[in-house]
Amino acid sequence: MGQFAEFNNYINSPVAIYGDELYNLPFNMNTFCQMWPDVRTPAQA
């Protein structure tokens, strides 16, 4: 592909803002642990 177009180092990193906090998207278990520290498993989420 590099022979047809010039590429940059752009990385899409969407975030959600809730209250005063930033959360990564898409949501995953790390996000849930950040929002609710006692949540450690998918069943708890």
Instruction: Considering only residues 45 and 43, tell me which one the structure prediction assigns the higher pLDDT.
Output: 43
Give the separation between CA 8 and CA 10, rounded to whole angstroms: 6
- What pLDDT, on the 0 to 100 scale, is given for residue 14? 92
Q: What residues are paired with 21 via a beta bridge?
A: 18
pTM of structure: 0.53
| pLDDT digit string, tens, across residues 2-44 | 789 898 989 999 999 988 989 988 888 888 888 888 988 889 8
Joined together, the tokens standing for residue 9 give 């180092």
What residues contact residue 26 under an 8 Å CB cut-off, 6+ apart?
Answer: 14
Helix (H, G, I), strand (E, B), or coil: what is residue 33? Answer: helix
Question: What SS3 state is found at 3?
Answer: coil
pLDDT at 1 over 80: no
